[in-house]
Amino acid sequence: MDKDLKNKTLEELEEIVEEFGQKKYLAKYIFTFIHCKSAKEISDISPLSKGFRGQLIENGYHISNLNIKESLTDPDGTVKFLFVMPDGNTIESVLLFDDKRKTVCVSTQAGCSMNCSFCATAKLKLKRNLTTAEIVDQINVIESEHGKVNNVVFMGMGEPLNNYDAVLKAVRILNHPAGKNIGIRHITISTCGNAEAIRKLAGEDIHPRLAVSLNAATDQLRSKLMPVINKKYPIAKLMAAAKNYQAKTKQRVTFEYILINKVNDSLSDARKLCGLIKHIKCNVNLIEYNEHPHCDYTASSKENIKLFAKILSDSGIETVIRFRRGRKIKAACGQLGADRIKKS
């Protein structure tokens, strides 16, 4: 049985409290102290009686904690954190500043199994899924150093929907009014295209924003860039799942498209993308490719990116260009873990 209190929703904590014959409301103190006051030990939860705290500890309950091994700051203000977990695995998270808003990009797996050709993290291979506690604690630790976080994006290391249960529980914890109370519209799950999990998420009672890493408008090209996921869920299945999510949740779906020089950035590619997504209520984030030493791809020119964006915009598709952030510290999209590939 899992005894990490940081892994528990408020409802799960209520069940634990009642098992010890205590009043149900005490669970809220545990939840709030862990997620709002960064309690690191059960002994830190002062509203609980000394006897009850002792009972929890004697029965093996504990509060896990991530440790920062290092942090790096880019000239543009972006901060990258390297966390070490008890088993020796490492993950990275990124803090982005946009005026007064703070966005944390969290990891959901140590490594990744998707083998996307443009991504540094893919070179690390999958080590394991993160626990819910390890996911939410990335935000706890960053907030303790940099203050309140406004947005959370599940876009770090790993494929979030391949760690579905832990990720969804993390969303519930982050969104809960007794905890960080981060609005559900300020939480985004990014997937490389797990169509089955997208359909499952559409049927939940809580709906974060959905971002789909598309990167190509044809199966031939997408299979070159994203071979693992596109073999299992080709574009037709993925688009059907995205349409289903949009229809059930009444939310726009975001499509992410990394622009790689002379690979997927032609004007013909742009027109094909328009044809593919024009029947879905959506928006597109065009992402400037972030180069790293472990891949030969290069970034599209800024001029070409703007021309690509104009074709989408002229077709009535809301389009935003995301230029590089955190590139000098390898904190940009697709770069996480690049510093440790040779050591893996």
CB 114 within 8 A of CB 229: yes
Do 169 and 250 lie in a common domain?
yes
Percent of the chain residues past pLDDT 70, beyond the cut = 93
Number of domains composing the chain: 2
Which tens digits make up the pLDDT trace of 42-80? Answer: 999 999 999 999 999 999 999 999 999 999 898 888 999
Q: Is the pTM of this model over 0.85?
A: yes
Residues 6+ apart with CB under 8 A from 111: 121, 124, 125, 126, 127, 128, 157, 158, 337, 344
Do 45 and 137 lie in a common domain?
no
Do 90 and 165 lie in a common domain?
yes
Q: How far apart are CA 150 and CA 115, in angstroms?
A: 31
Do 146 and 172 lie in a common domain?
yes
The residues carrying an active-site annotation are 92, 333
Q: How far apart are CA 32 and CA 12, in angstroms?
A: 14
Q: What is the CATH number of the domain that holds 290?
A: 3.20.20.70
CB 139 within 8 A of CB 151: no
Which tens digits make up the pLDDT trace of 199-233? Answer: 999 999 999 999 999 999 999 999 999 999 999 99
